[in-house]
A and B are shown apart, each in its own frame.
Chain A
Amino acid sequence: MEKITVSIVEDIPEIREGVRFIINQTRNFSCLSVYDNAGDACRGLLAEPPQLAIMDISLPDGTGLDCIRKLRAAGSAIQFMVFTIYEDSDQVFEALSAGASGYLLKNAAPEKITEALKELYDGGSPMSASIARKVVNSFRASEEQNKLSAREVEVLGLLAKGFLYKEIAAQLFISTGTIRQHIHHIYEKLHVQNRTEAVNKVFGKQG
């Protein structure tokens, strides 16, 4: 079976090598490339794209967010996972708006890292209560473009109230996997919404 390729963008060598080790230890996954700065990462990920990329936020020459934005604008199909210490920081939400489909906590146990990668590859994404609230506000603030489905609104509402996936699954009679997929779709709509807004900002002035 073809291995799932992953790239890592992280400036601290111990963390980068630690994650590379974890990935290469995982069945069906292999680390394609590693980068320690935003500039190299932007060029390298475009020239030789992996399927998944783990992206640190603060890098010596810029932020991972800019990197994600640039690659997304160039039409890259890489699934990005933000690598963060703080789950509730504004930058995580910004990255998710810019085009990331998930995030990974740096203090997560190795098996959790593996699990998160598999989940993302299978089209699932994580979301904390505070991110859920930001997503709700973001959709509320925008025009009715790219509306969420009734189910997605339901899942988002429960997440914002602090329910765990397991609890939501029990309440809505669906599997946790399905919930993760709903969240993945919500992120995709968030990307579209963000891009539309950016485009409107640029071209609205000319009209």
Chain B
Amino acid sequence: MGLRNVITIIKILRGAISMAALLTVSLAANAQMQVGLNKDSLKRVLSKMPDDTLKARMLITLGQQYESNRPDSAVYYYKLCDQLSRQLHYSFGTLRYISNYTAVLNVQGRFDESLQLNLRAVEISRKEGLKQELVKALMNTGAVYQYKEDYARAISYYLQALPLIEAGGSIQNLSFAYGNLCGLYRSIKQTDKALFYARLALKYAEKNNDPYATTAACINIGNALKDGGKITESINYLQRAHLLALSINDNNYQETALIGIADAYLQLKQPGRYIGFFRQALPLAEAIGDVSGQAYSLSGICMGLFWQKQYREAETRLTSGIRFAKQHDQKEVLSQMLLLMSDVQIALGKADHSQAYRSQYDSVSNILLNAPLLKNIQELETKYGLAKKQKEVLEKNLLLAKKEREAQRQRQWLIAATAGIALLVMLVVLGYRYYRQKQNLNQKALQVLKAEQESERLKAVIEGEQQERRRISREMHDDMGAGLTRMLFLSRAMGTQNDMADKIGATAEDLIKKMNEVIWTMNDEEDTLDSLIAYIRSTSAEMLENAGLEYNITINETKGATPLNREFRRNIYLAVKEALHNVIKHAEASGVQITLSNNGDLEIMVRDNGKGISNEVKPRIGNGMKNMRKRMEQLGGRIEVSHEQGTCIRFVVPLPV
């Protein structure tokens, strides 16, 4: 008889916890709950992130990884998110912190703290106009009131949320709302209605293909059926919930489903079955820190052992179970275990021990409820409360209808306002047209406008052509470059002993170098004197370095920003390159001095310490000389060649103005 009482109380508690889990899931899923991620790699990523809103969201994700087995760590990361969001004035982050942290608080039974935070969330989301967040905050606040058994307030918050959800919320939220309504009706012992809402919740959860909501709904249906005495049917749903919870690897749901199943078998008086389910539930309850679940499971195991006549083991388990219940102030379970212990002691033939436990039981149950009289009073009070609550539900339904009427009125207002705005816009447009027409009458202005438009169009055409040319040349260079590189690697693959392959490779390499030069000339970003000088400087230094010649490059102050066109840059660069080529190939020099300066004209001097241009080499360098001369002529400049201890070539070119 006593035990039934415990079961009832635990059932309410279990209901509460299953709802806590439902809340967590439903809310977190909205914000993309991702469990089963690698915590270490998350932490690594996190450590490299700057302190921004992305990091705040990441902290929540990391916390969620810990929620079902290390709630302390989860809370640590949620609080970090809170701090960061405060710094950044990031309300969305603060709301995420509240919804996730209060889920943990609810599981731990710290409802008052949870309530304060959720009320703050309602306020914030209202102020910031975050509709989805407001729905969550309202539902969460309702749920906390439900845990606190303040059903009137719970209903009032759900009713504030329902119109918002039905107007534009997700299927998921609907399933969530119906699930909580089921819990509410269970609390006021209206089994049929509870079952009705639980089935609705399941329908929407399945429609949304959401395993978390489906699990929660199955647990709710199972519990509602159990309330209605349909134990076997109830077990089917709870079994389904357990399998689902296993597949999504959620400890909370697994524990709730297992205790539900065990409780059902307990009602069917099948110790062979329920003892196993309680044993499975116990470690899970420990893992999620659910003290009442642990105590209840321990008590269930002992009960099973007693009925299976394993008195010795029952005694040992009860001893530790009683200690645990005392430690955690689980009075209901404690009194049951004391009573059971007294029975166990009789079975073991220790009448005096039995008597001692019996008197302990009496004192605990005296504290708990003062004899059947108190119980009757309580029952009467419950009945009175029930009637009152039913009345309240009715009143709230009326309120809902009233709100619907209000919403209707608001909609009408909105339509009227929209029509007004449309009229206003039309007037403005008409006014603008009238103004434009008047303006167009001014012939001269119109002509100017046309000319401007024409020039804009031309500019666009030219720009388009330039872009197209750039694109084609880039594509060509890319294709040619890729082909040449492939050739180079193919020739290398043919092996070093093959002379032809070497030559092909060298040719490809040379071509790629030339293509690089073309790319540089084509690049409009490189169209300054500075850029030209830097390019000449680095390529010359590299050439001479590779040839093993000493060199010295002097640059006298230049007007660096002077813009130069492609043609100019190309001709100058190639002329200098040709000159250096001659020195390396034919002059037999050991050192080169290059001097660049500009005093109105650009002057480049290449001086070597070689043997000078002999008659012997003259024909070989003749072509190169001709090229250099031609390039200088094209630019309106000149080339001067002198011989004194080697050769000195001087290019003098006027800079374009």
Which residue numbers of A lie inside 8 Å of B, CB to CB?
Answer: 12, 14-15, 17-18, 58, 74-75, 85-89, 106-107, 110, 128-130, 133-134, 160-164, 166-167, 195-196, 199, 203, 206
Contact = CB atoms under 8 A, between A and B. Distances in A.
B533 interface: yes
Closest 7 CB pairs between A and B? A162-B537, A162-B534, A85-B481, A162-B538, A18-B489, A75-B45, A129-B534
B566 interface: no
A58 B478 contact: yes
Given A12-B482, A85-B515, A130-B520, A107 B537 contact: no
B486 A12 contact: yes
Nearest to B539: A162
B541 A164 contact: yes
Contacts of A89: 519
B84 to A, nearest CB: 14
7 contacts: A75-B44, A85-B516, A87-B516, A107-B484, A107-B508, A164-B538, A199-B52
Nearest to B478: A58
B50 A162 contact: no
B43 to A, nearest CB: 10
A56 to B, nearest CB: 9
Contact of A199 (B50, B525, B537): B50
Nearest to B509: A107
B534 A133 contact: yes
A175 B534 CA distance: 22
B455 to A, nearest CB: 29
Contacts of B53: 203, 206
Contacts of A128: 538
Given A75-B45, A86-B515, A196-B50, A14 B538 contact: no
Contacts of A206: 53
Nearest to A12: B486
Nearest to A21: B493
A12 B536 CA distance: 33
Interface string B85-103: 0000000000000000000
- Residue in B477, B489, B531 whose Cβ sees the most chain A Cβ within 10 Å: B489
Given A162-B534, A203-B52, A12 B485 contact: yes
Interface of B: 41, 44-45, 48, 50, 52-54, 477-478, 481-482, 484-486, 488-490, 492-493, 508-509, 512-513, 515-516, 519-520, 523, 525-526, 530-531, 533-538, 541-542, 545, 555
A58 B489 CA distance: 18
A160 B534 contact: yes
Contacts of B530: 133, 161
A163 B485 contact: no
B363 to A, nearest CB: 61
B488 A107 contact: yes
A173 to B, nearest CB: 18
A134 B545 CA distance: 26
A49 to B, nearest CB: 11
A17 B519 CA distance: 27
A161 B536 CA distance: 10
B492 A86 contact: no
Nearest to B511: A107
Contacts of B531: 130, 133
B572 to A, nearest CB: 14
Contacts of A106: 481, 485, 488, 512
Contacts of B44: 75
Nearest to B482: A12
Contacts of A15: 485-486, 489
A75 B44 CA distance: 8
Contact of B519 (A88, A164, A167): A88
Given A18-B492, A75-B44, A107-B513, A164 B486 contact: no
A164 B545 contact: yes
Nearest to B487: A14
Contacts of B515: 85-86
Given A14-B486, A15-B485, A85-B482, A162 B536 contact: yes
Contacts of A130: 520, 523, 525-526, 531, 534-535
A14 B513 CA distance: 20
Nearest to A161: B534
A197 B15 CA distance: 50
A163 B541 CA distance: 8
A129 B519 contact: no
Given A14-B490, A130-B531, A163-B538, 9 more contacts: A18-B493, A87-B516, A88-B519, A110-B492, A128-B538, A130-B526, A133-B534, A167-B541, A195-B50
Nearest to A73: B45
A129 B523 CA distance: 14
A161 B493 contact: no
Contacts of B488: 106-107
A129 B489 contact: no
B485 A88 contact: no
Contacts of A199: 50, 52, 54
- Residue in A86, A133, A162, A166 whose Cβ sees the most chain B Cβ within 10 Å: A162
Given A15-B489, A18-B493, A162-B541, A107 B512 contact: yes
B485 A107 contact: yes
Contacts of B492: 18, 110
A164 B538 CA distance: 6
A74 B44 CA distance: 10
Contacts of B512: 85, 106-107
A130 B531 CA distance: 8
Contacts of A17: 493
A165 to B, nearest CB: 10
Contact of B537 (A58, A134, A161, A196): A161
A161 B529 CA distance: 11
Contacts of B519: 86, 88-89
A206 B512 CA distance: 48
A162 B554 CA distance: 12
A67 to B, nearest CB: 18
A128 B541 CA distance: 13
A130 B536 CA distance: 12
A110 to B, nearest CB: 7
A130 B478 CA distance: 19
A162 B485 contact: no
A191 to B, nearest CB: 11
A152 B541 CA distance: 22
A163 B512 CA distance: 23
B508 to A, nearest CB: 8
Contacts of A18: 489, 492-493
B482 A163 contact: no
